[in-house]
Structure 1
Amino acid sequence: MDERWLQKQVRNCLRHYGYDDDMMPLGEDDWRELCTRIAAAKERQPNADIYELVHDIVYRFITSA
């Protein structure tokens, strides 16, 4: 899965939840973790909509942080 595309999707999702790069700067480890989680979820659920997976994982990330 293209990591830059995933990062763009994550960034759009964060904006949807009211965050921007200044409010919630993500380090390289955070980006890698989010992309890994999304890719793993897509592997487990190949028929799932990638946009729903991104939103679910980003929501869990910001609510548990």
Structure 2
Amino acid sequence: MDKKFIYKMIENIFKQYYQHGENLPLNKSDYDRLYEEILTVKATETDADLYDIINDVVYEFLSGA
């Protein structure tokens, strides 16, 4: 999967949780960790929608689950 595309999707989902003008609480290692988690879930749940997977992973990241 294209890493830039996944990063952009992660960023867009984070923007749903943060007001305009707030900095996103992500650094490079956070993006990498989320990306790897997304790939792992997608590999095990091949029929799952990528958008849903990214939403779930970002939510878990934010909630500390």
Q: Is TM > 0.5 for Structure 1 vs Structure 2? A: yes
Tell me what 1:42 maps to.
42
Give the alignment's TM-score, normalised by structure 2. Answer: 0.87
Q: Contact 2:15–2:24 (CA<8 Å) still a contact in 1?
A: no
Give the alignment's TM-score, normalised by structure 1. Answer: 0.87
Shift of 1:24: 2.9
| SS at 1:23 equivalent | coil
Aligned pairs, number: 65
Which runs of 5 or more structure 1 residues have no equivalent in the other structure? none
Give, as a single letter, the amino acid of the residue that structure 2 aligns with 1:8. K
Q: Which moved more, 1:52-61 or 1:18-27?
A: 18-27
Q: Contact 1:42–1:53 (CA<8 Å) still a contact in 2?
A: yes
1:21–1:5 CA distance, 2 compared to 1 (3 A): farther
Give, as a single letter, the amino acid of the residue that structure 2 aligns with 1:43. A
Give, as a single letter, the amino acid of the residue that structure 2 aligns with 1:64. G
1:20–1:44 CA distance, 2 compared to 1 (3 A): farther
Alignment RMSD: 2.0
| SS at 1:25 equivalent | coil
Which runs of 5 or more structure 2 residues have no equivalent in the other structure? none
